[in-house]
Amino acid sequence: MFYYRPVVEYAYADIISLRAHVTLGLMREIHRWGAHAMVIAIWLHMLRVFLTGSYKPPREFNWGVGVILLVLTLLLSFTGYLLPWDQLAIWAITVGSNMARAHPFVGHEGPGASLLAIGGVPLIHAGSDARFLLLGGTSVGPGALMRFYVLHCIFIPLVASVLIAVHFWRIRKDGGISGPL
């Protein structure tokens, strides 16, 4: 955060200088590989929990919290993916955000969106649908970069921290970690 500026003029150059010039710029690489390792670790954790039947009562609530944590982790990856602002990032988020455009009811090209109208005026259109909410515009631009930065660095980590605390509290409330079957 000291060296990266979430604006289209500097984002890519800042990532390059983090990689090549900044002392401890290696932290950015560690962060990127750490993110991959986190997704793999959560998947292995989920597999362990499933194989030991630890989703069964009284732990079904904690399984539910876990699923939300998994979605938040994938959203962390999705929002982080845009921040290098290179071709891979821009096109990956274009593809991803276009899915929101086709989402039922909340995407302006999705099934059912045209039903949401008052007096013939559509409520869901290109300037008010899920993609617009996600990107802060109708394409991946400066608005999206700032929005994804705030989601990635502040909003999602805050929500995930609260849910991880609930997850840990629940482990104790459910009688501690279940043993093997």
Binding residues for ligand HEM, rule: CB under 6 A, are 42, 45-46, 49, 54-55, 59, 62-63, 66-67, 69-70, 73, 164, 167, 171, 177-178
Least spacing, CB of residue 52 vs ligand HEM, in Å: 6
Least spacing, CB of residue 26 vs ligand HEM, in Å: 24
Least spacing, CB of residue 63 vs ligand HEM, in Å: 4
Q: Would you say 58 or 141 has its CB closer to ligand HEM?
A: 58
Least spacing, CB of residue 36 vs ligand HEM, in Å: 14
Three-state secondary structure string covering the chain: CCCCCCCCCCHHHHHHHHHHCCCCCHHHHHHHHHHHHHHHHHHHHHHHHHHCCCCCCCCHHHHHHHHHHHHHHHHHHHHHHHCCCCHHHHHHHHHHHHHHHCCCCCCCCCCCHHHCEECCEECCCCCCCHHHHHHCCCCCCHHHHHHHHHHHHHHHHHHHHHHHHHHHHHHHHCCCCCCCC
Which residue is at the shortest CB distance from ligand HEM? 66
Cβ(101)–Cβ(130) below 8 Å: yes
Q: Would you say 19 or 173 has its CB closer to ligand HEM?
A: 173
Least spacing, CB of residue 33 vs ligand HEM, in Å: 17
How far is 71 from 39, CA to CA, in rounded Å? 10
